[in-house]
Structure formats: structure tokens, C-alpha cells
Amino acid sequence: MKNIVILISGAGTNMAAIVHAAHQQRWREHMGLQVSAVISNKPNASGLDWLRSHSEFSEVKSEVLDHTQFESREAFDQALMRRIDLYAPDLVVLAGFMRILTPPFVAHYEGRLINIHPSLLPAFTGLNTHQRAIDAGCQFAGATVHQVTTALDHGAILAQAVVPIVSGDTAETLAARVLSQEHLIFPEAVKHFFKTEAVLLQAT
């Protein structure tokens, strides 16, 4: 059985989309694939409440590792790695995990660490992506699932969704449309990650 660990910091709607897809599409039975745990760095993350309130997802463990209880970013990342590794993850998914990860953490999960970013990378790395796209006069925005590297919002692109920017759009209205597409492409990108891995293993 291949294991997925998802990291969140807040509402965790992308996490919910992945967990729901895994349950509805029976990843465990059809792909030998399961979401083993969801870990938050914030005790009050509403995504944990969502997960715990849905009994049909009871096999997914929920955990908190509060980053404010550590004296350095490095100490937190080391503790987080130890917690994640208890689940022997084949893939670690950043689903609204609002932390800049240290190079040792990224190196530890090299090739099995993915993130979703609310822009059409390589455009608009970093924060405030929707307002920046509007201010730049872009006709399109979107979201990107990508491999995580030590360079912020870089790494191989795994999936993208394109959303038109329409007259009168605000950062909030654009963000809502992009988020609805994130919920579609993120679970599919996770599935494709394992299908691609299987093909590569067979080729060797």
C-alpha cells in the first residue's frame, strides 16, 4: 500500500478534495493508494475539524505539530520530518501549508514532495498572485501543481488549470474561480504521479 501524507495550515479545501476523491474513487482498492495522515502546523486549522467531522474518512489520521512550540524553523522541520516518516510516505502533499521549508526538508523528500500554487507558473511566484495577475493586465490566470524544490514555486510542472480573467474581476472573485479548479486538478495530479511512477518502475 502506498501512503500519502498531506500538510495543511488552514481550511484545507484542497486536502478535502484529495481525501474525498480517494474515498469516492476507491484509490485503496483500485490503485493500492491511501491518504494515511493529515498534519497541520496550526492547532486551530479548520481543515482538521472538517476531517474529524466526517466519519467516512476515519482511516485518515489527523495530527497537529504546532510550529510556534519550536525555537527555529530548522527544529520544526526536523520534528515534522520525524512525524511524517512514521507513515512511510510515498508522497507528501502541500495543500495550503503556509511554511517556507528548509533545504534539508526538501532534500529529504526529493521527488515525492508536491505543492499547488495559485498561478500559471512560472508566472507570479510568491504571494498575492491574483491581484498581480489583474494588475498586469493578464487575460488568464490559473493554478499549477508542481514538484517542490529549494527554489520557491519552481520545480517540474505536473498539472495546470487555466481560468479567464473577466472584466470587473477582483482578487477575491478570481481566487474563488481558481480555487474551484484547484479542487479538480490536485486529486488528478496525485493519481497521475503514481501512474507515472508505475510506468517508470516497469520500464526499469
Q: Where are the domains of the chain?
A: 1-109, 115-204
Q: Are domains 1-109 and 115-204 of this chain identical in fold?
A: yes
Is the domain defined by 115-204 classed in CATH 3.40.50.10860?
Answer: no
- CA–CA separation, 51 and 35 (whole Å): 12
pLDDT block averages, 10 residues each, the chain of length 204: 97 98 96 97 97 96 98 98 98 96 97 97 96 98 96 92 97 98 97 69 36
Instruction: Determine if the pTM surpasses 0.85.
Output: yes
Given 30, 67, 108, 117, the catalytic residue: 117
| pLDDT for the residue numbered 203 | 38
* CB 96, CB 182: distance < 8 Å: no
- CA–CA separation, 98 and 128 (whole Å): 13
CATH homologous superfamily for the domain 1-109 = Formyl transferase, N-terminal domain (3.40.50.170)
Long-range contacts of 52-57 (CB under 8 A, 24+ apart): 56/23, 57/19, 57/23
| pLDDT for the residue numbered 5 | 98
67 tagged catalytic: no
Bridge partners of residue 146, in order along the sequence: 115, 157
| pLDDT for the residue numbered 195 | 83
